[in-house]
Amino acid sequence: MSTTPTDCCADPGQKLLSVEQGRKRILTAVSAIQATEQLHLRAALGRILCEPVVARIDVPPFANSAMDGYAVRSEDCPDSGAVVLEIIGSAFAGAPFPDRVGAGQCVRIMTGAVLPDGADAVLMQEHVSREQGQIRYEHRAVQHGQNVRYAGEDTRRGDTVLPAGRRLGAAELGLLASVGVAEVCVTRKLRVAFFSTGDELASAGTPLVRGQIYDSNRYALFGMLSRPEIECYDLGVIPDRREAVRTAFREAAAMADLVLTTGGVSVGEADYVTETLGELGEISFWRMAMKPGKPLAFGRLGNAVFFGLPGNPVSVMATFYQFALPAIRKMTGQQAREPLLIQARSSQDLKKAPGRMEFQRGILQRGPDGQWQVSTTGLQGSHLLSSMSKANCFILLPADDTGATAGDLVTVQPFQDFSS
């Protein structure tokens, strides 16, 4: 990475960097934070496991009944003919039968109760008739292991139940509890500091003067950064002045693992982000072959990773999801995964000029034929935040494409892909 903003594509005449190339460079340049913390299960919800968890017990810990019924010896229930068995006791979940089941005997058993010694199968209670201390059974032959859940069927002692890098969701918390784990080691929260740059920005809740707009980026960023694995710090709006930008960078770099800014990375006269980063850190300035969101500054500021996102709100969201989020996943130690991409039929013609990959905002739904279909949200300007709010997916149109015709299959990335 160079120390001046000339690394790649800084020259407007130079070739654009593809989204794929950009993401690769970013992922090569960032690494997982090493700090960890030990948390109780509930506090670990949504966090990233930092080491594999190995089961120290079998789950279930003992063979038990899958049904309410009668525990029997399968050899007592031959292929044909009725059989009568003596009931010698009962077994409840949590209250095992203490003795052994012998020839011609059975034990009343409830779902989850330990399978008594001697028994190897369970008859469903609906399949027997009960008369004074006895049951009568005349269905088909009983198989060894019928209606029995074996010890270790779910998890065996010594098995890796969860690998490092797994996000702990509801199923994972339950799984950990099932093997008796009460505390887990997770990656400590990633500290992310962010601020907006721009003299035109007013904060929501204050009156607008002519020439001002409300700062929406900080709110959208707050929303995108509000994740269990992140601790985010909103540093406010920084005016377009060199000294103010410098001070904000220093402050952000001192407190965070990752610094995100919006605005000021274009080639306008008040765009100080790239320049200041060139002085204070290691910065690459890229022109991405992407629409929305062409300019992107990426680099390092002290120990922090730095992203200078564009200013336009839709560009901010698109570049965050395509570049910053994969970096966050890697920095927090998450397992790498492929994006969730779906093929859907376009409901209308989609216009596009060749050159940049487009992330049009789309509405994905099932068509009358039960297949996925997608339509755009309408106007696609990078300043039109309502297009993001109406959408539930990006429609990905490859750089070289000239658009799509109604009925064509197009690739779609549902916004749900960004929630994990």
Among 22, 69, 264, 326, binds ligand AMP (CB under 6 A): 264
10 Å Cβ neighbour count for 188? 19
Looking up tokens 């039929």, which residue turns up?
A: 345
10 Å Cβ neighbour count for 51? 14
Q: Judged by CB under 6 A, which stretch of 106-114, 258-266, 354-362, 373-381 contacts ligand AMP? A: 258-266
Q: Judged by CB under 6 A, which stretch of 209-217, 248-256, 278-286, 405-413 contacts ligand AMP? A: 209-217
DSSP state of 412: E
Q: Least CB distance from residue 224 to ligand AMP, whole Å?
A: 13
| Residue 311 found at the interface with ligand AMP (CB under 6 A) | yes
DSSP 58-102: -BSSS-EESSSEEEE-GGGS-SSS-EEEEEEEEEBTTB---SB--
* Shorter beta-carbon distance to ligand AMP: residue 33 or 316: 316
Q: Which candidate, 54, 414, 36, places its Cα nearest to that of 229?
A: 36
How many chain residues bind ligand AMP (CB under 6 A)? 18
* Shorter beta-carbon distance to Mg ion: residue 237 or 252: 237
DSSP state of 320: I
**Contact, 106 vs 86, CB < 8 A?**
yes
The Cα 383–Cα 370 span in angstroms is 34
The Cα 385–Cα 363 span in angstroms is 15
| Residue 231 found at the interface with ligand AMP (CB under 6 A) | no
* Shorter beta-carbon distance to ligand AMP: residue 22 or 263: 263
Among 292, 313, 333, 362, binds ligand AMP (CB under 6 A): 313
Q: Which candidate, 371, 383, 384, places its Cα nearest to that of 410?
A: 371
* Shorter beta-carbon distance to ligand AMP: residue 74 or 382: 382
Q: Judged by CB under 5 A, which stretch of 194-202, 334-342, 367-375, 388-396 contacts Mg ion? A: 194-202
Helix, strand, or coil (residue 388): helix
Among 6, 216, 347, 411, binds ligand AMP (CB under 6 A): 216
Task: Retrieve residue 242's tokens.
Answer: 């060199």
Q: Least CB distance from residue 207 to ligand AMP, whole Å?
A: 17
* Shorter beta-carbon distance to ligand AMP: residue 146 or 262: 262
Degrees, nearest 5: CA angle 8-13-14: 30
DSSP state of 125: G
**Contact, 286 vs 9, CB < 8 A?**
yes
| Residue 198 found at the interface with Mg ion (CB under 5 A) | yes
Interacting residues with ligand AMP between 265 and 304 (CB under 6 A): 265-266, 268
* Shorter beta-carbon distance to ligand AMP: residue 116 or 313: 313
Kind of pairing, strands 134-137 and 128-131? antiparallel
> Shortest Cβ contact with ligand AMP: which residue?
311
Looking up tokens 């960032």, which residue turns up?
A: 30
Looking up tokens 């496991």, which residue turns up?
A: 49
Helix, strand, or coil (residue 256): coil
Q: Judged by CB under 6 A, which stretch of 12-20, 175-183, 192-200, 282-290 contacts ligand AMP? A: 192-200
Q: Least CB distance from residue 219 to ligand AMP, whole Å?
A: 9
Q: Least CB distance from residue 385 to ligand AMP, whole Å?
A: 8
Among 263, 308, 362, 414, binds Mg ion (CB under 5 A): 263
Task: Retrieve residue 309's tokens.
Answer: 């996102």
| Residue 310 found at the interface with Mg ion (CB under 5 A) | no
The Cα 293–Cα 268 span in angstroms is 15
- Select from Mg ion, ligand AMP, none the partner in contact with residue 406, using the beta carbon and a kind-dependent cut-off of 5 to 8 Å: none
Q: Which candidate, 215, 211, 209, places its Cα nearest to that of 194?
A: 215
* Shorter beta-carbon distance to Mg ion: residue 55 or 237: 237
| Residue 212 found at the interface with ligand AMP (CB under 6 A) | no
Among 65, 146, 196, 373, binds ligand AMP (CB under 6 A): 196
- Select from ligand AMP, Mg ion, none the partner in contact with residue 262, using the beta carbon and a kind-dependent cut-off of 5 to 8 Å: ligand AMP
Question: Residue numbers of the site for ligand AMP (CB under 6 A)?
Answer: 196, 198, 200-201, 213, 215-217, 262-266, 268, 310-313
